[in-house]
Amino acid sequence: MNRRSFVAGVVVALLAARRLADAQVSGKVYRLGYLGQGSKGSSLYDGGSFELLISNLRALGYIEGTNLTVDARFAEGRSDALDTLAAQLVAARPDVIAVPNAGLAQVMLAHTKTIPVVALNAGTLESIPGVKSLAKPGGNLTGMQIVSPEMMGKRLQLLQEIVPGLRRVAVLRGNLFEGPGYELYRSATATAAAKLGIRVSFFQFESLDDLNKRFDEMVGEQDQALLIWGNPHLNGYRKEILDLSIRHHLPAISDVRVYSPDLLVYAAKREAVVREAATYVDRILKGAKPGDLPIGQARTFELIVNLKTAKAFGLTIPQPLLLRADEVIQ
């Protein structure tokens, strides 16, 4: 550990201790609600956002059982349970409710217009009805989002680097738990693809049988590669998607780290995004209004290359791309 990191760690610890001491003196116990799609401790649906949030709140001086109570409810992958869980959270009247993504933000907003809602790692929040702008969303929603139009073009450029003569790309998205930003994703991808001379085809699915049919259609369209838009429904089929992409020789890139077994991942650094989202929770607990807090945008990204999967596709990763990678999986 270098001196700068040590000093930064000491400063964070001192601030956390001071905040905890202030809370103990005032006797204030803050109440946090959380709605998740998966199971506690599982990263499949929510990417470990809950654990990251609690860890970062602890660094900010919020200690569960001392000055913080947490009411976390998980749907265990069942979309039909979300409305009931959201209603239960609202009835418990927490000071703020955190959700991992835009889809669950919209679920919560259907049940409350007054309790602050913070999205930890949303694809896009600006498409949610009632959000006035990124600079001043208004209402009771704020948080962090990770999607930007330029990122769509960046992923297509990376595919071009590893697939010689790339002209046709399939875009895959699950259509359950669908968030509000699908049309924004689609428009941004189509615009970026046109500039690169790439034709894109869009596919959605609901079941494994449906997924198999979509891959057959991709082959029929003569697609040469696959762009995966991760979402909670699709993430539950990660292994099947990887197997099908190899079987049909469709090298893939994804926008979420849970897909690191794929050929390429270019994604926002979740740890950094959730760390910043935790400061939104902190500011709201201290009295800030969510509608006055600008929606944040991910600023740091990571490139992950899987050489084992590249070998399965018979592809050689260019050395310049390997040198740019944040992580190379052997």
pLDDT digits (tens, 9 = 90+) for 74-100: 998 888 899 999 999 999 999 999 999
Per-residue pLDDT band for 178 (boundaries 50, 70, 90) equals low
pTM metric for this prediction:
0.84
pLDDT at 260: 58
Question: Residues 252, 278: contact at Cβ < 8 Å?
Answer: no
* Six-digit token string for 158: 């990376």
Answer yes or no: is pLDDT of 25 > 60.
Answer: no
State the average pLDDT for the chain: 87
Per-residue pLDDT band for 180 (boundaries 50, 70, 90) equals low
pLDDT at 126: 84
**Structurally, what CATH architecture does the domain formed by 3-145+269-300 represent?**
3-Layer(aba) Sandwich (3.40)
Q: Which of 36, 91, 30 is nearest to 65 (CA)?
A: 30
Share of the chain above pLDDT 70, in %: 86
Running DSSP on this structure, what letter comes out for residue 43?
Answer: -
- The listed range with the strongest mean pLDDT (81-95, 177-191, 220-234) is 81-95
Alpha helix (H) residue ranges in the chain: 3-26, 49-59, 82-92, 102-109, 149-162, 182-195, 208-220, 232-235, 238-247, 270-285, 307-312, 319-324
Per-residue pLDDT band for 230 (boundaries 50, 70, 90) equals confident
For domain 149-267+302-329, give the fold.
Answer: Rossmann fold (3.40.50)
* Six-digit token string for 291: 């509608």
Segments making up each domain of the chain, as ranges: 3-145+269-300, 149-267+302-329
Cβ-based burial of 100 (10 A; exposed 0-12, middle 13-18, buried ≥19): buried
Per-residue pLDDT band for 26 (boundaries 50, 70, 90) equals low
pLDDT at 5: 45
Mean pLDDT of 313-323: 92
Per-residue pLDDT band for 179 (boundaries 50, 70, 90) equals low
